[in-house]
Structure 1
Amino acid sequence: MNVLKQIYPKMNTNILRLFNTNIPKLHQELKDRTILTRLCSRQQISTRVKNVCTERKAPWSVLFFGSDDFALQSLRQLYHKYEAGKLLSRLEIVTAYGGKENTVTKYARRHRIPIHNWPPDINLSEFHIGLVVSFGHLIPSRIILSFPLGMLNVHGSLLPRWRGAAPIIYALLNGDSETGISIMKVMPKKFDIGEVVAQQKLNVHPDETMPELRDRMSRLGADLLIDTLKRLPDILDHAEPQSNEGITYAPKVTPKLSLVKWNEMTAKNVYDLQRALCELYPLTTTFLGATLKLLDVQVLKDPLPGQQVSDIVPGLLTFNKELNKLVVYCRGNTKISVSNIGCPGRPPMSARDFYNGFLSKNKRKPYLFSS
C-alpha cells in the first residue's frame, strides 16, 4: 500500500486496500494457469509418444494382413491371445477383397476386429509389428519400415523351396514327401526372400489332397506364429538368411496346369497333379479334338491281362470291364484308372457310358488321349 501511495498520492484509501487484497490472488491465479498449461502440454506430448510403439516387450500391438482360409487359422489364434490379454494388447486387420467378403473379413466382423482395406490409411507406427499370412500383395518399404519391429510372413513351405503364391500345390504336384512352415522377415520388391526366423517340418501323406494338407499346415503355421510372438524380440536377432541352393518357385496356378502331358508324366505324376488341383480344376485331356475332364483318377499297380507291352503308348485308353473303369497308359508303361469323364456340354458320365458311346463302336481301333 505504501508503494502505491507514493506513486499515486491522491488515490483513495479504500481503492488502495482493494488492490493490495486482490493482486496476490490474481498473481497466484496466473501462476496456477501457467502450471496447468504446461502440464496439459506435457500430457499431449506424452500421448503422442505413446501412440508410437517404442516398447520392445509383450503385450504386442499387431496389424494382421491376410485374405483366405490359410490365413484364417492364424487370425483365430491371434484373436484368442488378444482376448486373454497377455500376449496381444491390440489386434486389427488389413485385407484386400475388392468389396467381396472373404473368410478373414467375415471372421473379423463377427468378432468386431477393426478392418482396414489395402493399402492401409492409418498410423502404422502405433503397432509393434505387422504379420502377413497368405496376403498376395507385395508390401512396399514405407509400410514395412513403419512398424518398429518390422513385418513377419507365415509361408507354406520350407524356404527356399517353393517361393511364390502356391507352395502347397507345387509340393503336392511334385510328389514331395516333406514340406513345412517358414516364418520370415518381409522384404520389399520381391516375395519370399527374407531371413528365416523359424521353421518346422511336416510329413506329407501319399494320398493327401490339397485341402487336407492346407488345413494341417494352417494349424502348424498358426502355432509357430504364436510361438514366434512369445519369443519376440530376441528371435528377430537370430534370423538366418535363406540358402542360395535348392531354390524353387511356385507361381500362381492357371487352368493350363491341369492338362495331362501323357508323354512326360508317369501315373504317379498324374495322380499327384489331381491331388494338388482337386479344389481348383479337374484334370483335362484332349480326345478327338474335344477337351475332356478326367474325374476320380487312381494309380493302377497290378498288371492287366490281355494287353501286350508292344501295343502300349502314352495316352492309350481302354475299358476294363472287371474294374468298370477306363485305363489310360502313361510314361514308363505306368497306368491310371478313370471312373468318370466330363464331356463338353454334358453332365459327367461314367467310364462305362463313355466306353459305350465312344469306344465300343470300333474295338479294333486304338484310341488315344492327347495333350
Structure 2
Amino acid sequence: MWMPCRTAGACVEAVRCCPQAGFRQRWPRRLSSSGSPWRLLFFGSDHFAVESLKLLTSNRSSSGGIVESLEVVTLSDDVPVKRFAQQNHLPVHRWPPNIVDGQFDVGVVVSFGRLLHERLINRFPHGILNVHPSLLPRWRGPAPIFHTIMQGDTVTGVSIIQIRPHRFDVGPILNQQLHQVPDNCTADELGAALSTKGAHLLVDTFMTLSEKIAHKREQSQTGATFAPKINTSMGWIVWEEQTCDQIDRLYRAIGSRIHLRTSWMGRTIKLLDFVGKCHISLLDQRRKAAPGSVSFLKETNTLAVC
C-alpha cells in the first residue's frame, strides 16, 4: 500500500497491489616481518565508513592493537567521518593528500567516492585496502547495497580488496565473508549490518595482512555486475511492466531516499508508503481486472493496482 502526497493536484490516499590540517612529518621506520602495528591513512566519508574507522581507532588505543597511528582524509567538512575523527582527536587532512614515501604503511578506503591516482597508491608499501559491501565481482560500483535489494539477492557479503588505479572495485581479493539477506530487509538495514561486518573483516585482514597479500586472488570476470548510483528516474512505477514483488523490492531499496512516483489520471503522484500484497474486492464484480489496471475505491479512498 502506498500513501501518496499531493502533487500537481493529485489526491489519492492509498495504493494497493493485488497478487586541512597539514601532515605531521615522520621519519620512515623499518617494517617488521609482519608489519604490525600499522601506520594507516584512512579515506572515507559516510556512516558506513565510520564503522571501520571506529574499530581501527579502538585497536589503536588498545594494548597489543594492530594500529600504531591513524590519520584521516575526507572530501568535505560536513561528513560523518570527519566529525568522528575530530571527536576522537585523529589528524584530518583535505583531499588530495600530500604525503611522502615511508609516511604510512597501508591506506584504507571505505565509501570515499574518488579514484586514487597510481602515484598515490605507490606511496603505500602494502598498498591501499578497500572495504566493499558485496561479494565481488558481483555489484562493482558505488551502490551495491541498493542493487542487492532491488534484484532480490538472498546472499551478499563484504570483500576486502587491494585497489588498483583507473577503475573501481577490480583489484585482487584479500578476504571475503558471506551475509544472508533477511526477508523484507531494507537497504538501510542491510547497510548497517554490512558496515559492522566489514569493519571486523578489515581488522581480521590486518591481523595477517602479509599472508593475505601473498595469497590474494584476482577477481573472476564471470559473474561481474555493475551497481550504478541510484537516481530519481529509478523511482518511476509503470504498473503494466512491474510486478508487486519488484515494486516492493524497489521501495525497500531506495524508498528512504527517493520517493517512488507514478502517473494516475494524467497526473504525477508520489507514493510514500507500501504495505505489500493484499486481497480486495472490486466494486464491479462482473469486470475482471487486467494486470496493471488501476481502480479507485471511493469507500476507502484507495487506488487499487492489479
TM-score, with length taken from structure 2: 0.85
Aligned to 1:57, which of 19, 35, 38? 35
CA distance 1:320–1:227, change in 2 (3 Å)? farther
Q: Tell me, in whole angstroms, the C-alpha distance in 1 between the residues paired with 2:71 and 2:30.
A: 15
> Residue 222 of structure 1 aligns to which amino acid in structure 2?
A
**1:58-97 correspondence to structure 2 within 5 Å:** 58-85=36-63, 86-97=65-76
Partner of 1:145: 122
Give structure 1 stretches of 5+ with no counterpart: 1-47, 330-371
CA distance 1:303–1:148, change in 2 (3 Å)? same
- Alignment of 1:116 with 2:93, yes or no, is yes
Q: Tell me, in whole angstroms, the C-alpha distance in 1 between the residues paired with 2:91 and 2:48.
A: 20
Q: Tell me, in whole angstroms, the C-alpha distance in 1 between the residues paired with 2:26 and 2:276.
A: 64
Q: Confirm or deny: 8 A CA contact 1:53 1:127 kept in the other structure.
A: no
Report the alpha carbon displacement of residue 275 of structure 1 after superposing the two structures with TM. 0.3
Aligned partner of residue 296 in structure 1, secondary structure: coil
> Residue 62 of structure 1 aligns to which amino acid in structure 2?
L
CA distance 1:50–1:265, change in 2 (3 Å)? same
Aligned to 1:224, which of 194, 201, 218? 201
Q: Tell me, in whole angstroms, the C-alpha distance in 2 between the residues paired with 1:286 and 1:161.
A: 34
Q: Tell me, in whole angstroms, the C-alpha distance in 2 between the residues paired with 1:320 and 1:288.
A: 15
CA distance 1:167–1:137, change in 2 (3 Å)? same
CA distance 1:53–1:144, change in 2 (3 Å)? farther
Aligned alpha-carbon RMSD (Å)? 2.0
Q: Tell me, in whole angstroms, the C-alpha distance in 2 between the residues paired with 1:315 and 1:209.
A: 27
Partner of 1:163: 140
Report the alpha carbon displacement of residue 257 of structure 1 after superposing the two structures with TM. 0.9
Q: Sequence identity of aligned pairs in percent?
A: 37
Aligned to 1:101, which of 59, 62, 78? 78
Partner of 1:291: 268
Partner of 2:294: 316
Q: Confirm or deny: 8 A CA contact 1:53 1:126 kept in the other structure.
A: no
Q: Tell me, in whole angstroms, the C-alpha distance in 2 between the residues paired with 1:182 and 1:104.
A: 21
Report the alpha carbon displacement of residue 232 of structure 1 after superposing the two structures with TM. 1.4
CA distance 1:238–1:101, change in 2 (3 Å)? same
| Greater RCO (Cα-Cα under 8 Å, separation 6 or more) | 2
CA distance 1:240–1:308, change in 2 (3 Å)? farther
Aligned partner of residue 187 in structure 1, secondary structure: coil
Aligned partner of residue 195 in structure 2, secondary structure: helix
Report the alpha carbon displacement of residue 176 of structure 1 after superposing the two structures with TM. 1.1
Bigger radius of gyration, 1 or 2? 1
> Residue 116 of structure 1 aligns to which amino acid in structure 2?
H
Q: Deviations over 1:153-206 (max 9, x none)?
A: 000101111100000000011111111101111010000001111111111122
**1:196-207 correspondence to structure 2 within 5 Å:** 196-207=173-184
CA distance 1:175–1:307, change in 2 (3 Å)? farther
Report the alpha carbon displacement of residue 279 of structure 1 after superposing the two structures with TM. 2.3
Q: Tell me, in whole angstroms, the C-alpha distance in 1 between the residues paired with 2:37 and 2:129.
A: 17
Q: Deviations over 1:326-345 (max 9, x none)?
A: 3222xxxxxxxxxxxxxxxx
Report the alpha carbon displacement of residue 310 of structure 1 after superposing the two structures with TM. 3.8
Give structure 2 stretches of 5+ with no counterpart: 1-24
Report the alpha carbon displacement of residue 263 of structure 1 after superposing the two structures with TM. 2.4
CA distance 1:266–1:123, change in 2 (3 Å)? same
Aligned partner of residue 121 in structure 1, secondary structure: coil
Report the alpha carbon displacement of residue 123 of structure 1 after superposing the two structures with TM. 2.2
Q: Tell me, in whole angstroms, the C-alpha distance in 1 between the residues paired with 2:151 and 2:255.
A: 15
TM-score, with length taken from structure 1: 0.71
> Residue 262 of structure 2 aligns to which amino acid in structure 1?
T
Aligned partner of residue 209 in structure 2, secondary structure: coil
**1:221-370 correspondence to structure 2 within 5 Å:** 221-302=198-279, 304=281, 310-319=288-297, 321=299, 325-329=302-306
Q: Tell me, in whole angstroms, the C-alpha distance in 2 between the residues paired with 1:124 and 1:77.
A: 26
- Alignment of 1:178 with 2:167, yes or no, is no
CA distance 1:49–1:62, change in 2 (3 Å)? closer
Q: Tell me, in whole angstroms, the C-alpha distance in 2 between the residues paired with 1:50 and 1:101.
A: 32
Query: How many residues get paired?
Result: 279
Report the alpha carbon displacement of residue 317 of structure 1 after superposing the two structures with TM. 3.4
Report the alpha carbon displacement of residue 301 of structure 1 after superposing the two structures with TM. 4.7
Aligned to 1:133, which of 110, 113, 126? 110
